[in-house]
């Protein structure tokens, strides 16, 4: 996998916009690209790592990023956008990743049920045990000094293509999944040389995400993208436990998810009949709905 091999798969507009860099190992593509952004790196800079030693998710959670298993990629943008609208960057990235996941599985003969978006920033695919998380998105933004508009934003995307050798760590095994099965990855005829494992799939995934994300970045607040986001919602109609922002990890309030509003907040109805639109805090999908716990949290854009 090389920058040129990905660029060759991009549409003309995307090819002109993106400048792709690939490193063998980084602490975190988001962390490094933020440093580059502060030093003047242009919009469209894409940083990919074959391995992350300190991959990060929401609320300081670890994103497991071993070699040969996934795509770990961050994109730098410099939109003319108020801080309050920055959530649209995350929702666009979620739609791009979900669309790309479906497309790449189809290309390699592994099409299945459509990928779903777990409010706000995770991608899940159905499996024999409910649904498993295959992708996490972490957007981080900096403001223009003295104002409320973005100087830049870094959109990080981590997509699990294959289960890592030996499986996921025990603390992640109940929730983490991959687009392709271990049996697919172990196919000796498909992968006669271990060093080529997943190369074609990684190239396809990187290009598919970047191609889909490019038009969204031109108009990130367009209703078209929000409508597709809602159509893929994993939590609609599900019973959840709401953890208010003031008590993360503490009190949980049972509720029913009614849907996602026009500003991408999660609409819930509590057992006493009251309704609320959540724009912060965390929700947990109840065990009886999924067979395992699924967490969701917002907001999903960190201001630096």
Domains of the chain: 3-230 (3.30.930.10), 235-303 (2.30.30)
- Beta strands 150-160 and 130-143 are antiparallel
Give the number of other CB atoms < 10 A from CB of residue 189.
Answer: 5
Instruction: Indicate if the pLDDT at residue 158 is higher than 80.
Output: yes
pLDDT at 31: 93
Instruction: Indicate if the pLDDT at residue 193 is higher than 70.
Output: no
Q: In whole angstroms, give the CA distance from residue 105 to residue 201.
A: 9
Nearest Cα to Cα of residue 15 among 159, 144, 207? 207
The residue to which tokens 């666009």 are assigned: 92
pLDDT digits (tens, 9 = 90+) for 97-153: 999 999 999 998 888 899 999 998 899 998 766 788 999 999 999 999 988 999 999
Residue range 212-231: average pLDDT?
96
Instruction: Indicate if the pLDDT at residue 57 is higher than 80.
Output: no
pLDDT digits (tens, 9 = 90+) for 1-18: 799 999 999 999 999 999
pLDDT at 304: 37
Answer yes or no: are the C-beta atoms of 26 and 34 closer than 8 Å: no
Q: In whole angstroms, give the CA distance from residue 232 to residue 123.
A: 9
| Helix pair 87-107, 223-231: axis angle to 10 deg | 60
Residue 94, Cβ density class (10 Å: 0-12 exposed, 13-18 middle, ≥19 buried): buried
Residue range 152-177: average pLDDT?
82
Residue range 84-105: average pLDDT?
95
pLDDT at 293: 42
Instruction: Report how far apart, in Å, the C-alpha atoms of 198 and of each of 9, 163, 184 are.
Output: 17, 11, 10
Mean pLDDT, the chain, as a whole number?
A: 84
Helix (H) or strand (E) holding 258: strand 253-260
Max CA-CA distance within the chain?
A: 59
Q: In whole angstroms, give the CA distance from residue 83 to residue 150.
A: 6
0.75 surpassed by pTM: yes
Q: In whole angstroms, give the CA distance from residue 205 to residue 24.
A: 18
**φ/ψ of residue 6, rounded to 5:** -80, -45
Q: In whole angstroms, give the CA distance from residue 180 to residue 172.
A: 17
**Which residues, including other chains, have CB under 8 Å from residue 154's CB and lie 6 or more apart?**
30, 33, 34, 37, 74, 75, 76, 77, 139, 140, 141
* Residue 291 binned pLDDT confidence (cut-offs 50, 70, 90): very low
Nearest Cα to Cα of residue 282 among 268, 292, 269, 296? 296
Helix (H) or strand (E) holding 254: strand 253-260
Instruction: Report how far apart, in Å, the C-alpha atoms of 286 and of each of 14, 211, 252, 253 are.
Output: 40, 35, 11, 11
pLDDT at 206: 96
Answer yes or no: are the C-beta atoms of 161 and 198 closer than 8 Å: yes
* Residue 236 binned pLDDT confidence (cut-offs 50, 70, 90): very high
């Amino acid at each position: 996998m090389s920058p040129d091999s990905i660029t060759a798969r991009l549409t003309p507009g995307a090819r002109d916009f993106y400048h792709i860099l690939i490193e063998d190992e980084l602490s975190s593509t988001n962390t490094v690209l933020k440093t580059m952004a502060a030093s003047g790196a242009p919009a469209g800079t894409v940083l990919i790592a074959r391995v992350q030693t300190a991959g990060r998710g929401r609320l300081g959670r670890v994103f497991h990023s071993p070699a040969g298993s996934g795509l770990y990629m961050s994109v730098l943008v410099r939109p003319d956008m108020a801080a309050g609208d920055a959530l649209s960057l995350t929702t666009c990235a979620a739609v791009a990743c979900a669309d790309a996941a479906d497309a790449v599985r189809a290309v390699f003969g592994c099409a299945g049920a459509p990928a779903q978006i777990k409010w706000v920033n995770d991608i899940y695919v159905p499996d024999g045990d409910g649904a498993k998380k295959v992708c996490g998105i972490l957007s981080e933004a900096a403001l223009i000094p003295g104002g409320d508009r973005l100087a830049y934003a870094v959109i990080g995307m981590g997509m699990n293509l294959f289960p890592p050798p030996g499986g996921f760590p025990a603390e992640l095994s109940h929730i983490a999944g991959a687009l392709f099965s271990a049996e697919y990855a172990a196919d000796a005829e498909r992968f006669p040389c271990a060093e080529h494992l997943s190369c074609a799939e990684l190239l396809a995934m990187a290009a598919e995400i970047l191609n889909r994300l490019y038009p969204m970045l031109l108009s990130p607040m367009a209703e078209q993208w929000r409508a597709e986001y809602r159509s893929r919602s994993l939590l609609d109609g599900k019973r959840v436990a709401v953890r208010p922002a003031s008590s993360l990890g503490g009190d949980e309030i049972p509720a029913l998810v009614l849907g996602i509003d026009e500003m991408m907040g999660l609409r819930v109805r509590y057992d006493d009949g009251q309704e609320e639109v959540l724009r912060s805090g965390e929700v947990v999908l109840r065990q009886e709905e999924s067979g395992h716990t699924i967490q969701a949290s917002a907001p999903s854009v960190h201001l630096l």
